Amino acid sequence: MRNRPLSVLWLQSGGCGGCTTSMLCAESPDLLTSLETTGIRLLWHPSLSEETGAEVLALFDRILSGDEPLDVLCVEGSLLRGPNGTGRFHALAGTGRPTIDWVRDLAAMAEHLVAVGTCAAYGGVTAAGENITDACGLQYDGRQRGGALGSAFRSRSGLPVVNVAGCPTHPNWVTETLMLLADDGLAEGDLDAYQRPRFYADHLVHHGCPRNEYYEYKASAEKSSDLGCMMENMGCLGTQAHADCNTRLWNGEGSCTRGGYACINCTAPEFEEPGHPFQQTPKFAGIPIGLPTDMPKAWFVALASLAKAATPERVRRNATADRIVVPPSVRNTNKG
Amino acid sequence: MTEEPGTGSPTRLIVGPFNRVEGDLEVRLEIDGGAVSAAYVNSPLFRGFERILEGRAPLDALVVAPRICGICSVSQSHAAALALAGVQGLEAPRNGVLATNLMMATENIADHLTHFHLFFMPDFARSAYADRPWFAQVEERFKAAQGTSVRRALAARTELFHILGLLGGKWPHTLTIQPGGVARAVDSRDRVRLLAIVGAFHRFLETSLFGAPLDAVLALSSIEDLDHWRRHGPTGDFRLFLDIAEDLDLAHLGRAYDRFLSHGAYPSPDGGHLYRRGTFADGWDAPYDPGAVAEHHRFSRMAGQDRPHAPFAGSTVPDGADEEGYSWCKAPRLAGRPYETGAIARQLIDGHPLIRALVARDGANVQSRVVARLLEKARTTRAMEGWLRGIDLAGPWCVQGDMPTTAQAIGLTEAARGALGHWLRVEQGRIAGYQIIAPTTWNFSPRDLDGVPGPLEQALVGAPVQPGEHSPLSVQHIVRSFDPCMVCTVH
């Protein structure tokens, strides 16, 4: 057991603040109770804390001088290296100093580094297009290791940056990561190839998707509001995206595919540049490019054509409707 | 970093990082004779979303634009969908409009709630106010991240967002809102579930925030009514705020230009908006002409500092070496003048009698901005119940259309913080121009071509500064009374 609460400092840079606003929706228990009852203490958080201005800078000083132990530095938003390597696209207010420099200094004092969201992990949407701000993640620049802290970085605990990727993050991806750190329950082996916590990244968005029957028969949605599988036409990457969105659920009973739209694989580096319009599946000779994870291509093609041929009328018709037009038939399942 | 304020020549104070606003903010103050004599507002973060959008397939804006802001995400999504609907010539069916309104209202009400409970009120629970008669109560209810009302509000907010979970899959960053409507239909079971969620929120407002039936809040129509509520009203958080506002004279703190703009909020399927579109300036109502909007870059770190930029011809070319610009924020002006936007503008322009009276007496100020938000929460919650009952369960949710190779359109909506506009140009089937003017771009703009300060910069002039204050409380109250969203501001 720890002899004092896990201290957490939270900084924001080149992001939208959405991972924080999402985290405020934590449930069972709520955010404040989650933190208090699991021994997590926020030293400062931009949205939650009383301190502003000079009071905050005094806290940074205490951390940098070693007077205030820092167990976790959470960073939300990408780190901006531009223009021309100056970092001036985000100078931390009140200091005139690039936020990326503050992050590097504070990172050296932190037991653990947590990248909250895909921006802080890999660069994310802020790094899209021509990336004029030269945005990157804490330890990645897209798929390349490196980023603001460099590929060799290890925090004082010996762990690399923990990438709680997602755009936004699910509230409890963040709270559970912090709880595991408070419990000494997160080792390097608990992170996946992109340093995401495996407790949520070892699942696929496809798992638990309510459109699974449509997927099985390749009964596809053709337009927005259709009920069918969105893999063939609508750009859905749920069979390849690492996250537990359809088993954990969002804001009560939600998920992207339950909300009627494609999974865009937002927990992955470079999801922001899929190489095709987000809501459109790229195809080659009429066949969607991008196989379900771990599926051999020949088998997928064979199974898909068989499945399409075997599609029940009910599934086929519902797939292109915005509500169930043909209900499943009712029959007695008792045997004997 | 700071110099002690005193008498004699002006001293300077730089306040930042300014928290309990959404995003990062720095305010530079000149102080003379114990009060702010000039203020310069710096939005210190630039990301370049307008450039990120250029060159993409137009519908990609539905993915990218919401990610401008994790607070006003649905509003950004709505503005993008409206701009795209404009270029595609689409009109969402009744159900699409109502479902979108429900999602917008959820986000806007939740933002008002976050503002009041998490951002604004905790300042009155600071030890500097320990000698005030209301302090013990405020400390118990609103101490940052601890107060009983803060906790109740967070719980109510979380439950309210179940509406977004059901209608939009998640919040923030839903992709449900499309140019032709919404991608998820609602059935009869969904509707009763949604009614129950709104009902629970309605109850929270009555038991915690107002301590009175919503009808009593909706009936507030004069300053006398408000005074009566303060003196004899129920013991909810609303009355507590009115007490504080009276004691600290917040009605005489933070007045700007008293010129207001609203794009109109919550379109009705039958035309018009729940809260009317228009402007109010110099005591007069007038229609809003988006063609009269231009952005000035004079004190922005942006190329093109010498002239106004109409949004369809606008550009976003940051200049990191520029020393004269003091913010990444551009300065939007309507017919050449700064305008304030937000709940107070919406309710004023819509003709709410109490807000009209408050503005007529003391303009927009710390008290009236907050009162407008609280009243709007009640009004919008009531409207949500009506929209849910207005859904046609047998009707369509989304219509489809083709993307033209060349077209342009504006998407105008209202985020919690006020007027949000997307100016979209499509050429050769791709996004050729995408200019965004967000509410806090209006409110927190730097000086313009004529050197005229933005609304917050003006509102801060005259704010009292106590000896020894590094982050003056009066300045914090004024800044937070606008409920700034800095990530929208510069985008």
- Chain B contact for A100, CB < 8 A? no
Give every CB contact of residue B312 below 8 A, 6+ residues apart in sequence.
B408, B423, B425, B433, B435
Using the predicted structure, report yes or no on whether residue A70 has a pLDDT greater than 70: yes
| Statement to judge: residues A176 and A306 lie in one domain | no
Burial class (CB in 10 A: 0-12, 13-18, 19+), A193: exposed
Residue A3's pLDDT is 85
For residue B491, give the chain A residue with the closest CA.
A16
A chain contacts of residue B165, beta-carbon cutoff 8 Å: 249-254
The 3-class SS string of A13-65 reads CECCCHHHHHHCCCCCCCHHHHHHHCCEEEEECCCCCCCCCHHHHHHHHHHHC
Residue B4's pLDDT is 46
| Statement to judge: residues A131 and A80 lie in one domain | yes
CB of B73 within 8 A of CB of B458? no
What domain range includes position A242?
203-324
Q: Residue A117: helix, strand or coil by DSSP?
A: coil
Strands B278-281 and B284-286: antiparallel
How far, in Å, are A157, A275, B402, B422 from residue B436 at the CA level? 43, 25, 24, 5
Element (H or E) spanning B167, and its range? helix B162-168
A336 part of a folded domain: no
pLDDT > 90: what percent of chain B? 97
Cβ within 8 Å, pair B162-A252: yes
Give B110's strand partners.
none
Residues of chain B with pLDDT under 70: 1-8
| Statement to judge: residues A183 and A142 lie in one domain | yes
Cβ within 8 Å, pair B183-A132: no
A222-249, pLDDT tens digit by residue? 999 999 999 999 999 999 999 999 999 9
Using the predicted structure, report yes or no on whether residue A327 has a pLDDT greater than 50: yes
A331 part of a folded domain: no
A333 part of a folded domain: no
The residue among A199, A220, A245 that closes a domain is A199
Using the predicted structure, report yes or no on whether residue A182 has a pLDDT greater than 50: yes
CA angle A91, A96, A101 (to 5 degrees): 55
Q: Residue B2: helix, strand or coil by DSSP?
A: strand
- Chain B contact for A125, CB < 8 A? yes
Residue B6's pLDDT is 45
A 147-206 residues inside an 8 A Cβ radius of B:
167-168
Report residue A141 as tokens: 């620049």
| Statement to judge: residues A46 and A154 lie in one domain | yes
B 49-68 residues inside an 8 A Cβ radius of A:
51-57, 59-60, 62-64, 67-68
Sheet with strand B407-415: strands edge to edge: B407-415, B418-427, B430-437
A37 part of a folded domain: yes
The alpha carbon torsion through B473, B476, B481, B487 (nearest 10 deg) reads: -170
Q: Distance, in angstroms, between B352 CA and closest chain A CA? A: 30
Cβ within 8 Å, pair B169-A250: yes
Using the predicted structure, report yes or no on whether residue A202 has a pLDDT greater than 60: yes
| Statement to judge: residues A148 and A280 lie in one domain | no
- Chain B contact for A305, CB < 8 A? no
| Statement to judge: residues A178 and A145 lie in one domain | yes
- Chain A contact for B148, CB < 8 A? no
Strands A135-136 and A79-80: antiparallel
Q: Which domains does chain B have, with CATH numbers?
A: 11-293+330-490 (1.10.645.10)
**What CATH number is given to the structural domain containing A194?**
3.40.50.700
Cα gap B103→B96, rounded to integer Å: 11
Report residue A47 as tokens: 């949205």
A93-109, pLDDT tens digit by residue? 999 999 999 999 999 99
Q: What is the mean pLDDT of chain A?
A: 96
CB of A174 within 8 A of CB of A164? yes
Cα gap A21→A18, rounded to integer Å: 5
| Statement to judge: residues A131 and A192 lie in one domain | yes
CB of B400 within 8 A of CB of A224? yes
> Measured on CA atoms in the order A121, A125, A126, A130, is the torsion positive or negative?
positive
Helix axes B223-232, B353-362, angle to 10 degrees: 90
Cβ within 8 Å, pair A52-B17: yes
Q: Distance, in angstroms, between A315 CA and closest chain B CA? A: 18
A 57-96 residues inside an 8 A Cβ radius of B:
57, 80, 82-84, 86, 88-95
Cβ within 8 Å, pair B476-A26: no
Sequence length of chain B is 491
| Statement to judge: residues A190 and A234 lie in one domain | no
A334 part of a folded domain: no
- Chain A contact for B186, CB < 8 A? no
| Statement to judge: residues A220 and A299 lie in one domain | yes
The residue among A160, A178, A199 that closes a domain is A199
Interface test with A, best of B4, B175, B436 (most A CBs within 10 A): B175
Cβ within 8 Å, pair B166-A21: no
- Chain A contact for B28, CB < 8 A? no
- Chain A contact for B470, CB < 8 A? yes
| Statement to judge: residues A94 and A189 lie in one domain | yes
CA atoms within 13 A on the CB side of B209: 29
- For residue B17, is the peptide bond before it cis, meaning its omega torsion is within 30 degrees of 0? yes
Cβ within 8 Å, pair B56-A255: no
Residues A16-34 as b/e (b if ≥16 CB within 10 A, e otherwise) read bbbbbbbbbbbbeebbbeb
- For residue A168, is the peptide bond before it cis, meaning its omega torsion is within 30 degrees of 0? yes
Give B267's strand partners.
B273
- Chain B contact for A14, CB < 8 A? yes
Cβ within 8 Å, pair B151-A82: no
Interface test with A, best of B28, B29, B67, B470 (most A CBs within 10 A): B67
- Chain A contact for B191, CB < 8 A? no
A335 part of a folded domain: no
- Domain count for chain A, please give it: 2
How far, in Å, are A27, A71, B161, B183, B313 from residue A22 at the CA level? 11, 23, 10, 22, 35
Cβ within 8 Å, pair B397-A322: yes
Cβ within 8 Å, pair B45-A255: no
Burial class (CB in 10 A: 0-12, 13-18, 19+), A329: exposed
- ipTM of the complex as predicted: 0.97
How far, in Å, are A47, A61, A78, A94, B19 from residue A55 at the CA level? 15, 10, 25, 11, 11
Beta strands of chain A (E only): which ranges? 6-12, 40-44, 70-76, 79-80, 91-92, 97-98, 110-116, 135-136, 140-141, 144-145, 162-164, 283-284, 287-288
A330 part of a folded domain: no
Cβ within 8 Å, pair A223-B182: no
| Statement to judge: residues A164 and A302 lie in one domain | no
| Statement to judge: residues A15 and A139 lie in one domain | yes
> Nearest CB to B172: which of A21, A52, A90?
A21
Residue A290's pLDDT is 84
**What CATH number is given to the structural domain containing A223?**
4.10.480.10
The residue among A155, A182, A199 that closes a domain is A199
Instruction: Tally Cβ neighbours within 10 Å of residue B304.
Output: 18
A157 part of a folded domain: yes
